Amino acid sequence: MKRTVLLTGCSKGIGKAIAKKLVEQGEYTIYAITQNPQDVPPDLAGSLNLYSCDLTDIPRSIETILCVLLDSGGIDILINNAGIGKFALAESLELDHWNRVLTLNLTIPFLLTKYVLPHMKRKNFGRLIHITSDADHIGFAEGSLYCASKFGLRGFADSVRQELKGTPITVTTIGPGRVDTFFNGKKPGDRPISLYAEDVANQVIHVLTQSERCEIERIYLKSTFE
């Protein structure tokens, strides 16, 4: 029986690479939430159960998550990948910037975790994987908002892991350095010496192939060329 996966953000970048890797494995039924389902390549979209949602809209997000849970019968593996950044001096940030980034990068992971955990506990199996960043433990100028969201996500994941101690439900954060994607206004090819999205996706598969008694708490990766 295939495991059910919920993946957020799959139209490009790391999320798209993760979706491709999961499909290649052939072992999962994949439910994916994305703001732009029209951007998912047709050959990939045909292997996914796609849901369109702007995850910065909390009421709509809750509605979509509940719909996925109903359609899937419960999620075995959560891969929280969707995220955004806003980089500016702290005094230049607007409250709207703050709320939008924290909603997607921190509130949505909380809601996803809250709603998928009951099924995992009933089934006595679960994998919670959060794509963070090296910014989950390193602060930098003009990164106060992004770092706050990622530091918070790592702390949230670490605390939930303690709550699940003694169960076969694992919590992993994967924190890449710079990745050659569309993030922060870039496009693939702009960062040729950085990590590739596939490098991060490979780590997700690595986590999923561990035995039920093995929990990988945290992975950090960076390009050898930077």
Q: Which of 134, 167, 170, 136 is nearest to 150 (CA)?
A: 136
Place of tokens 């996706």: 201
CB 100 within 8 Å of CB 86? yes
Distances (CA, A) of 113 to 6, 53, 119, 160: 11, 17, 11, 9
CA distances from 221 to 94, 109, 179 (A): 32, 21, 10
**Residue numbers annotated as active site:** 146
Tell me which residue of 216, 103, 207, 98 sits closest to 157, measured CA to CA: 216
What are the residue ranges of helices labelled H in 104-194? Answer: 108-123, 144-163
Q: 134 — phi, psi (to 5°)?
A: -70, -10
State the greatest distance between any 2 C-alpha atoms of the chain, in Å, as a whole number. Answer: 52
Contact present, 78 and 113 (Cβ < 8 Å): yes
Q: Phi and psi for 125 in degrees, rounded to 5?
A: -160, 140
SS3 18: helix
Amino acid at residue number 21: K
